[in-house]
Structure 1
Amino acid sequence: MNALLSPLPRRHVLTLPAAPSAIRLARETAEQAFAEWGVRPQHPTVGPALLILSELVTNSVRHAAPPSAHVTVVYSVGPDCLAFAVHDRHPYRPVLRTATAENPTGGLATVMELTTDLGGTAVVRGDCDEQGKSIWITLPL
């Protein structure tokens, strides 16, 4: 079975106030969790993963509060991949696309470029009540 489709054995969930301090705390928690799970900080996926995570949390803090008072980050690691999600309770679901002439830069374009360059996937999943969403990133190790 493909590792990207199998359950990931390690998981950590962190919920923080939707404030600028959430960005640093989410990143530091990722660094610690990944290291504890055997993903060395020098692994070529870790640096880009932390940048992607920081960008997603920044977007939630800047654009989703209010109505989302909190941002939740889910971290997971398996034998061949790491995954994380950033969740907020704002109903807007962004379109994930790479940079184009009409959209030359921007946080989500950077997220998509890094994710694609690493051979990973990115997906937006809405909450059942349509009042929130999670952006899931999966990256091969």
Structure 2
Amino acid sequence: MARSGPSHSQHSLLDGQCSASESWCRTMESLGSAPADPVSYEGVWRFTAPAVEASVPSARHAVRDLLGRQGVPIEDDILQGLLLIVSELVTNAVKHAALLSPELAVEVAIAADWVRVSVEDNHPYRPTALETDYAQTGGRGLLLVKVVTAEAGGTCDVEHTASGGKIIWAALPLKTQL
């Protein structure tokens, strides 16, 4: 598959690990190809964190700081939705995958006109966004991710990894789609 868009100079936030996934390319193709010459903020960053509650705000802050440091021209409403998605995806990995996956990975891929965040864990269960009983105080995280992504004009999905785990990702435009 031919790749257009950012060069894949690998970057790291915390631990030096970085990779671009094939789903990154599919996401970019589905949202529209980036220009042949990448802009300065484009790239792919990956970091790992322990599957513990303290990783939720840490991941959210790391993504926010990365976007700011790279000078990504993202609208504030889209940014707030993206950060909510990061929190929900990391929370799901912590709550539901930590037993089989003591570490999770967060990847941020930025192109000229969109940003994709993904959370990877080693648990084989592939969750679905379910409507839940409104009397419950939890259980709507993936539904929220799906709604926030759709309202921003983006797309999201769950994919299996070669190692038997999963990647849950959401790709959003940098600007509101009219």
TM-score of the aligned structures, taking structure 1 as reference length: 0.86
Query: How many residue pairs get matched?
Result: 137
Tell me how far apart the structure 2 counterparts of residues 61 and 41 of structure 1 sit (CA, whole Å). Answer: 28
5+ residue gaps, structure 1, are: none
5+ residue gaps, structure 2, are: 6-26
From 43, 47, 67, the equivalent of 1:10 is 43
RMSD: 2.4
Tell me how far apart the structure 2 counterparts of residues 27 and 4 of structure 1 sit (CA, whole Å). Answer: 22
1:59 maps to 92
Tell me how far apart the structure 2 counterparts of residues 93 and 41 of structure 1 sit (CA, whole Å). Answer: 30
What amino acid is aligned across from residue 151 of structure 2 in structure 1? D
Larger radius of gyration: 2
Structure 1 stretches of 4+ with a deviation exceeding 2 A read 1-4, 6-9, 39-44, 102-105
1:75 maps to 108
Secondary structure in 2 matching 1:138: strand
Identity between Structure 1 and Structure 2 (%): 34
**What's the CA shift for 1:78?**
1.1
CA 1:124/1:13 → structure 2, altered by over 3 Å: closer, same or farther?
same
Secondary structure in 1 matching 2:76: coil
Check conservation: 1:96, 1:123, Cα contact below 8 A: no
Check conservation: 2:129, 2:140, Cα contact below 8 A: no
